[in-house]
Each structure stands twice: as structure tokens, then as C-alpha cells.
Amino acid sequence: MSSFNESDTKAVATIRTLAADVVAKANSGHPGAPMGMAPVAHVLFSRFMRFNSKNPKWINRDRFVLSNGHACALQYIMLHLAGYKVTLDDLKAFRQIDSITPGHPEVGVTDGIEVTTGPLGQGISNAVGLAIGQAHMGAVFNKDGFPLIDNYTYAFLGDGCLQEGVASEACSLAGHLKLANLIAIYDDNRITIDGDTAVSFTEDVEMRFKSYGWNILHVEHGDDDLAAIESAIAEAKKSTDAPTIINLKTTIGFGSLKAGGHDVHGAPLKKDDIAQLKKKFGFNPDETFAIPQETSDLYAAVAEKGAKAEAEWKDLFKSYSEKYPKEASELERRVAGRLPDGWEKALPTYTTADAAVGSRKLSETTITKLAEVLPELVGGSADLTGSNLTRWKGAEDFQHPSTGLGSYAGRYFRFGVREHGMTAICNGLAAYGGLIPFGATFLNFVSYAAGAVRLSALSHLRVLQVATHDSIGLGEDGPTHQPVETAAWLRALPNLAFWRPADGNETSASYLVSIMSQHTPSVLAFSRQNLPQLAGSSIEKAARGGYVVEDVENPDVVLVSTGSEVTLCAQAIDQLKAKNIKARLVSLPCFEVFNTQSADYKLSVLPSGPPILSVEAYSTFGWGAYSHDHFGLKAWGSSGPYDQVYAKFDLTPEGIAKRAEKVVAFYKKRGQPLFSPLISALDDISE
């Protein structure tokens, strides 16, 4: 164990005064938690964290996650002290437009930020994913004498994090998986925004985590007992079969006149309070953003130690490469994010001669093929493996070896009934590097995971969600399980691709584009009911997000649809032909991808001239950007055999043909060609 001296005391005081200055300069933020957690932050970064601030992407760096969004200023301060590309000017720009120190940490914006946090509970759940990532990659690539991947994941969390359900889901699974490489430090300051936790949060956190299977440690004097903090973290690292939570008793806003109360939680300190704080800690009250030279020197030594650690690792990897060239090459490829050459050739293709099957079954076939050529593809289901059809033949479960249920080299995850935790964990897996994770549930229950899905998109993480039972077509389970509104909110998320394939080729295309989209998450919606293979589909066409399935010269109407309704539209067109109504059929499996195509291509698919009718067994919300008239659901679904449910809502070939007739008749009365909905007034003006 190391000894602590006045330089350490000064460093802790520096962190506290910087926290006060950063939040005061922004006139926004949370000074209390950073001030309370300054000692543990200093001990962790100066004594334990293994990182190279000059190379934030070193694969074997320790991961630090600030799950407690109310301490976000603390992370930026520590990154600055540790030598990352966060300057004093960046600290002064905290929470300002286009700064690299936004209101809450965002991966990809600031070097050294591992995952996007702020929404409480997400960070600790991401940390579970990061820990799983290390355990899996280590099991795959480590050899005797070559511990290439052996990093730890450290997470700071608070009372708010522990009250969010997602944290319970993820931490429960972490205990089951015995993730000894995960160390969580609980800032037990007994304060939330509403005040003392006595008003709403009185559970025994230590007993709760003990029941999860975690190792429990306790530090009573977290405000100043640096040696006890160091001892607890060192003890946590000795664990071999359980994650550890350290209950750290702290005083929120330590040093402030309002220390220990909720007033210091979410508002800047007053000027007189900051002045007395600085005097108390031996700083000039008139100086802001002060960093003593001895603190700078201390952290310069920390940065130097980290650079040396990576240099030693590179030497180890060089020796590893000589002895295990194949494994070394594979690790380099995966860490660099390169896909194997020709992997896409494994995607199955289909013709009309192939049988009609549910697209969830087509998805299973695709996953099975991809698992053979993409060793980085890992994932599982939220207790719906037999329904989602996500486990490929020969898959090994990711489990602690002691259970006899699998090993850490396993690529299939049993997430349990934890949709939100599953998705947040997948975010951590994607952020770790070298892995392409997927989760699976029914489409309706992706809504349980909405908070984490949103962060997948905001974080630009390649996370796939396999979402089966995608419509009223699931039948007898009824409205509680039938997603009516789900597609609309998923399509509304920026940087998220919602796919709803109509057949086998479109299913392959959805996986092709999702896997190639390194910075975009995807939700892939698949049917329970059987779907025939379309005559006009191909992987290449569908990969553009929308294409013409069936065409005719000078159409009277364009039918545009997705998923299982594309076939219904094709059958409706046959009926329209008998009435001398010519129709084009368009499949639009992914709005997000279609929107990225050139204007010329989009207008070639959905042209000006004929009216465009959309058909989808969802709420019609969002279709106004693509069609003039929208045929879908105006309310909840219904329980019953799927064909009867479709018939109830007139979503049949006959019902669609009837609606198309009315649309054609209505617009013929207007006597003029229609602009495509893709052409807005603003487009016209700009031209």
C-alpha cells in the first residue's frame, strides 16, 4: 500500500475547488457530488487506474464510468489533470454550445469518456457491459503468460442510480455472471434532488447487492480517509468470483457552507461560499481554476506511468504476435473495427421458389450464417430465445466457468427478463471495442428499453436489437403485446435505423447495413407469421432502404409498405388490375437508410404524379413524409388468430384495393399531378 502526503491532500483540495469553479462559471450543474467524491477520484486515478491519456483507445486500458450524472464536472476535471485533451479553457466552457465538456459526458465528444452517461442508472449498466467485454475478449485472446486483456472497469454511482430499475437489472446479472473485474463505488451521501434519501430511499443497499452475489466493502470516512479508500479498492481487486461494490460514506459538497444538504446538490455555490471554501483549503479566494504546481507534477507522473504501462503492453503484444500470429492478427482487426474480407457473402439470398416463412425464422438463418464468419458478433435474448430464434447451432453461452453452463468465451447471452438492462449492457459491449452486440425481445417490449435505445443512438454505438412478433400479426397475445406506436418513436430517434423486412432478401439486407453501420444502432423488426419471397426483391435493392418491387408504366397509384403488408399490397394490386387501375408497389423497409439516398433516387422510387398510399399495420404517424394517404391502425390491436385480426382492421388485399380505389378517385377529381411528399416547400424555394 502507498503512503499519502500533503501533495495528495492538496490534489484533493484542487479537485474540490475546481468543481466549485467549473459549475460557477457555467452557472449550471452539480458541485456537491464532485466535491464529495474528490478523495476517491484522486485515489483511483493516482493509485489504480491504468490508462495512457495520449492514447485514449488503448484496448487494455482500465475503463472509468461516471454513472452518477450529478458528478459530471468531476470526470472532466480528472481528465484534465490526467493529461487528456481537456484544457482549462474546456473546463471554463463546461455546458456551453459546441464545447467538448457538454452538460453530461458523451462518448465521442471528449477523449477519455467511455460511455454516454447522465440518465441515472445507465452508466453502471454500461459498466456491466464493459466488464463483460473484457471477460469475453480475455477468454478468447489471452494465453498462458500473455494476459493481453485484463483491464478493470470502475464505476462511480449514487443513490439516484440505484433507484433506477435498469441498474437493478444489470447489477443482478453482473452478480450471476461473477464479474470480478467490475468495481462499483457507491457515493452514499444520502442526498437526492428532493432532499434527504429518508423521504424515499431507505433500503439496505449492502444487503441488496449481497443478494445479487456481489462482494461488499465499506468505507466509513470517505471525505478524507485516503488510506481506507485505497485499501478498499485494493481488496476489491483481489476478488476472483464476484463484482464488488464499495459503500463510500461521503458528505455532499464537502467544504461548502451548505455541505450535507440538497441545496449544494444541483446549483452553483454562492461567491462567498466559494471564497471561504478556497481559504479553508489554502487557496487564493480571488483566483479561479487554480492548479498548484505540485498537483500538476503529481498527475504528470500518473500520465507518465500510464504511458509506460502501454509501452510494456506493446512489448507483450509483440511477443504474443510472434508466438500466436493468427490470434494477434485477429485481435488487431477487431480492435480496429475492420470486418473480415468477404463476410457479406455468407448472407443468404432467396427467390420465389423458396418457401414462405416468418421473418423471425429468416433472421435465425441469417444470424447462424453470420456467426460463422463474424466472431465478434455476440448477443442474446431477454428470456425469449425460443421465440426470438436468436441462438445459433453450436453456440456456447457466456457464463462463469464454475457454473458448468458455459464459459467467458461463450458468445450467447442469457439476459433474463431484463430488456432495459440488456440494451444498456449491449451499449457497454459496443463501447468496449472488438465486439458487435445484439439483444432480442418482442418489438413491443423494446419500449421497456427506451432509455438505453436512445443512448445507443446518441452514443453512435453499433448495437442491434432483434425485435420479433412485430405487429398485430402476432395474433392471440392481443393488444398488450401488439406494437402499434413502437415503430413511430423508433423512427423518430435521430441516428437509429428501424428495419422492417418483407422477405428473406430484405432480412439479409437489414443485417448487411446494420453491421456495416459502425456508428448507428438498428432495430430489426421481424414477423411471427409466414411471408412469401418477393419476386422483385434483392439484397442490393433493399440495402438502399426503399425500392420498387413491382412497376408499371404511368401508374394511377403508388402503394408503399413495409414488412408483412408488402405482400398484402402485392395481392391488392392484382385486384386493382381487374379494375383497370395500374399500381406501382414500393417496399420501404428502413426510413433512415432511404433518407440518406440521393434526391434523384428517392424521387425515382416515390415520384411526383400519382397519389401515394402507405399501408402498414401500425399507427400511421410519420408516413406524411412519404405518402399522400395513410392506411393503418387508429387504435389498439385485438386478440385472435392473426388473419382474423388483420381482417378486423380491413388490412386485407380487398381492403387495401378498396382504399386505393378511393384514393385514385379522390385525386382524379383534383385534375392535376401531385408533388411527391419528398418535395417540401423549402426544397422548392431553395431551388
Residues contributing to the annotated binding site = 30, 70, 118-120, 159-160, 189, 191, 265, 360, 387, 445, 469, 477, 481, 528
Percentage with pLDDT > 70 across the chain = 99
* pLDDT tops 90 at residue 681: no
pLDDT at residue 164, as a whole number: 98
Chain segment 379-403, per-residue pLDDT in tens:
999 999 999 999 999 999 999 999 9
What is the C-alpha R_g of the chain?
28
Is 23 within 8 Å of 11 (Cβ atoms)?
no
Chain segment 652-664, per-residue pLDDT in tens:
999 999 999 999 9
- Cell 428502413 sits at which residue? 590
C-alpha dihedral (597, 598, 601, 604), degrees to nearest 10? 120
14 in helix, strand or coil?
helix
Is-catalytic flag, 332?
Answer: no
What is the spatial distance between Cα 325 and Cα 530, in angstroms, rounded to a whole number?
46
* pLDDT tops 60 at residue 684: no
669 in helix, strand or coil?
helix
pLDDT at residue 670, as a whole number: 86
Is 415 within 8 Å of 166 (Cβ atoms)?
no
pLDDT at residue 686, as a whole number: 43
Q: Regarding beta strands 547-550 and 583-587, do their DSSP bridges make them parallel or antiparallel, or are they unpaired?
A: antiparallel
What is the spatial distance between Cα 96 and Cα 602, in angstroms, rounded to a whole number?
38
Indicate the average pLDDT of the chain: 97
> Could you tell me the pTM of the whole model?
0.98
Domains assigned to the chain: 6-309 (3.40.50.970), 343-531 (3.40.50.970), 545-670 (3.40.50.920)
pLDDT at residue 380, as a whole number: 98
pLDDT band at 674 (very low <50, low <70, confident <90, very high): confident
pLDDT at residue 237, as a whole number: 98
Residues contributing to the annotated binding site for thiamine diphosphate = 70, 118-120, 160, 189, 265, 445
pLDDT at residue 687, as a whole number: 44
Is 73 within 8 Å of 99 (Cβ atoms)?
no
Q: How far is CA 512 from CA 202, 427, 495, in A?
A: 49, 20, 17
Is 144 within 8 Å of 207 (Cβ atoms)?
no
pLDDT band at 683 (very low <50, low <70, confident <90, very high): low
Strand ranges (E), 197-325: 215-219, 244-249
What is the spatial distance between Cα 554 and Cα 613, in angstroms, rounded to a whole number?
16
Is 527 within 8 Å of 563 (Cβ atoms)?
yes
Q: Determine the average pLDDT of the residues in 445-464.
A: 98
Q: Determine the average pLDDT of the residues in 54-72.
A: 95
pLDDT band at 682 (very low <50, low <70, confident <90, very high): very low
Q: Which residues of 319-334 are buried (b: 16+ CB within 10 A; e: fewer)?
A: ebeeebeebbebbebb
pLDDT at residue 69, as a whole number: 81
Q: Determine the average pLDDT of the residues in 44-56.
A: 98
Chain segment 332-362, per-residue pLDDT in tens:
999 999 999 999 999 999 999 999 999 999 9
* pLDDT tops 60 at residue 66: yes
Percentage with pLDDT > 90 across the chain = 97
* pLDDT tops 90 at residue 20: yes
Of 149, 111, 112, the closest CA to residue 133 belongs to 149
pLDDT at residue 337, as a whole number: 98
Could you tell me which residues come within 8 angstroms of residue 569 by beta carbon, excluding any fewer than 6 positions away? Answer: 559, 561, 585, 615, 656
Could you tell me which residues come within 8 angstroms of residue 285 by beta carbon, excluding any fewer than 6 positions away? Answer: 274, 275, 276, 278, 279
Q: State the catalytic residue, choosing from 169, 376, 419, 592.
A: 419
Q: Regarding beta strands 377-381 and 191-192, do their DSSP bridges make them parallel or antiparallel, or are they unpaired?
A: unpaired
284 in helix, strand or coil?
coil
Chain segment 226-277, per-residue pLDDT in tens:
999 999 999 999 999 999 999 999 999 999 999 999 999 999 999 999 999 9
- Cell 486483456 sits at which residue? 149
pLDDT at residue 1, as a whole number: 77
Chain segment 285-300, per-residue pLDDT in tens:
999 999 999 999 999 9
Is 152 within 8 Å of 180 (Cβ atoms)?
no
Of 518, 469, 403, the closest CA to residue 414 belongs to 403
What is the spatial distance between Cα 651 and Cα 682, in angstroms, rounded to a whole number?
35
Of 194, 129, 197, 117, the closest CA to residue 157 belongs to 117
pLDDT at residue 204, as a whole number: 98
What is the spatial distance between Cα 324 and Cα 152, in angstroms, rounded to a whole number?
24
* pLDDT tops 70 at residue 685: no
Of 20, 69, 32, 489, the closest CA to residue 264 belongs to 32
pLDDT at residue 673, as a whole number: 75
Q: Determine the average pLDDT of the residues in 576-601.
A: 97
What is the spatial distance between Cα 110 and Cα 652, in angstroms, rounded to a whole number?
52
Chain segment 162-213, per-residue pLDDT in tens:
999 999 999 999 999 999 999 999 999 999 999 999 999 999 999 999 999 9
